[in-house]
Structure 1
Amino acid sequence: MAAEQRSTTYLQPSFTIPRPDRDVTFILPSQEATSKVPDGVTRIVIPPGSQWTPSPHWHELYDENFRVVAGHVRLTVDGRTSIVGPKDGVQRIAKYDVHDFMRADATSSEYSGKDQAQEEWMSKDVIVEEWTSPVDGMKEIFFRNLFSVIHDSSRVYGWKTELQLMMVQSHCDNYPVIVSDSRIWQPLTHVLFFFAVLLGGWLGLKPWYDEYTPPRLRGVATSRHGAVGKDELKKSK
């Protein structure tokens, strides 16, 4: 697999994910003065009619901060679901808490026939922001490499795409729930990722690529878990 085959996307300010209902846009942090989002923050724009969800997942090295800028979402954290809007402020999602979200009106039966204010936001984009604690750029590395791999999947990775995606997820502390049984979802995901990373490395795949990762973040990517990884290294000495 020749490195030059990959798209050069590290300067791309946003990624739009094609979907059968409505496309979802991720606006990523930028060093440009005209950036639409604060440094370290990813903004997700979910249009009306979209049923997109990131699917249940968890993190083990980072707490995640979640804020609704416009509209309302149905946020599920550790099995508890609530409707969250701009007035609810920042939602802190702790390490190991399985979480997921989607537009609150994605399942219309619960939100049909509401008052005028709710009908108004149901017809507009839902906008949410995410960032980690600590903020070190690893979330941006994750999104940039994940979406770039998806973009290049048919042309560069082919049947290796799923392996490549799992390598990115494992490297960037993003673990999906594979089965519904809460007693085994964490060990099962780790076992599957262990063999995926092993096989992917043997096939010449990497957990991140220069073509996808801004120069300012390549040191973080190399340290595997950014500021968290550096802290752990210090403790081990």
Structure 2
Amino acid sequence: MPQPLSPDVDSWTLQEGISMTVLQNPLRTRVIITGQGKKFYVPPHWHAAHDENHVVIKGRVIVTQDGVRRVVGPEDGVCLTRRGVVHSLESFPGEELILEETASEPEDGSLLDSSRSFRISYLMFSRMLSSPLGVMQVFYYGDSYPKLPTEFRWLKRGLIVVVGGWIAPFFGYQLPDKRLRLDPSRFPRDKKD
């Protein structure tokens, strides 16, 4: 069971055999999969406002980008996923994997706060185990959109706003920390609440 989220935590366990740590200089997040327990899987999704860079430090991971699957290892260097590209990540059962991620906004190349980005991922991971409404709320706050059968992205965004932004809070779902609001188009960095 995931550890409770705290705004000051730099490392946490997602589930048996999977942990995340926020690293500095440069700001990035490291996911460590021991190969024990369930495999690591991030379902198909896309981002409207940022690119992601993945680097495999040890082991190998299956990266799927717009339906194209490939195995990525340390020798492949940076695996770039541009904003708007539907992507997913999957570890191999029983294999150790160390994966690092950074997120950047393509307009100016500046790094997003990986701490917030991965606390959002942590929330998604922990809430996926408990409630679809919780997952939709995490998508709403985190510049993430699930892959759905329709190709109309405006419909996907609308679904996230209605379910994650309105319905989930109506049923009592709340982010534990306002600093987890990541989507710059919905929650500008200079906005104070």
Task: Report the TM-score, using the length of structure 2 for normalisation.
Answer: 0.74
For structure 2, list consecutive stretches of 5 or more residues without a partner in the other structure: 105-109
Q: Does 1:95 align with 2:83?
A: yes
Identity value in percent: 24
Task: Answer 1 or 2: which has greater strand percent.
Answer: 2
Supply the AA of the counterpart residue of 1:75.
V
Q: Give 2:12's aligned residue.
A: 15
In 2, are the aligned partners of 1:65 and 1:131 still within 8 Å (CA)?
Answer: yes
Supply the AA of the counterpart residue of 1:52.
F
Q: 1:25 aligns with which of 10, 19, 32?
A: 19
Q: Does 1:136 align with 2:109?
A: no
Measured after TM superposition, the shift of residue 183 of structure 1 is 2.6
Q: Aligned partners of 2:80, 2:56: CA distance in 1, in Å?
A: 12
Shift of the 209–225 alpha-carbon distance from structure 1 to 2, 3 Å rule, reads farther
Supply the AA of the counterpart residue of 1:193.
I
Task: Give the 3-state SS of the residue equivalent to 1:95 in structure 2.
Answer: coil
Measured after TM superposition, the shift of residue 70 of structure 1 is 0.5
Shift of the 203–27 alpha-carbon distance from structure 1 to 2, 3 Å rule, reads same
Q: 2:97 aligns with which of 114, 119, 126?
A: 126
Q: Aligned partners of 1:76, 1:150: CA distance in 2, in Å?
A: 19
In 2, are the aligned partners of 1:142 and 1:169 still within 8 Å (CA)?
Answer: no
In 2, are the aligned partners of 1:164 and 1:205 still within 8 Å (CA)?
Answer: yes
Aligned length: 180
| Deviation digits for residues 111-163 of structure 1 (CA, Å, limit 9, x no counterpart) | xxxxxxxxxxx75x2111111113131x4224325535876999xxx8xx543
In 2, are the aligned partners of 1:142 and 1:168 still within 8 Å (CA)?
Answer: no
In 1, are the aligned partners of 2:29 and 2:102 still within 8 Å (CA)?
Answer: yes
Q: Aligned partners of 2:166, 2:19: CA distance in 1, in Å?
A: 32
Q: Does 1:191 align with 2:179?
A: no
For structure 1, list consecutive stretches of 5 or more residues without a partner in the other structure: 1-6, 30-36, 107-121
Q: Aligned partners of 2:88, 2:8: CA distance in 1, in Å?
A: 28
Task: Answer 1 or 2: which has greater helix percent.
Answer: 1
Q: Aligned partners of 2:10, 2:146: CA distance in 1, in Å?
A: 25
In 2, are the aligned partners of 1:56 and 1:98 still within 8 Å (CA)?
Answer: yes
Q: Aligned partners of 2:86, 2:30: CA distance in 1, in Å?
A: 20
Q: 1:73 aligns with which of 61, 64, 69?
A: 61
Shift of the 209–39 alpha-carbon distance from structure 1 to 2, 3 Å rule, reads farther
Q: Give 2:184's aligned residue.
A: 225
Q: 1:44 aligns with which of 28, 31, 40?
A: 31
**Where in structure 2 are the equivalents of 1:210-221 lying within 5 Å?**
210=177, 218=179, 221=180
Q: Aligned partners of 1:169, 1:24: CA distance in 2, in Å?
A: 21
Q: Aligned partners of 2:70, 2:45: CA distance in 1, in Å?
A: 17
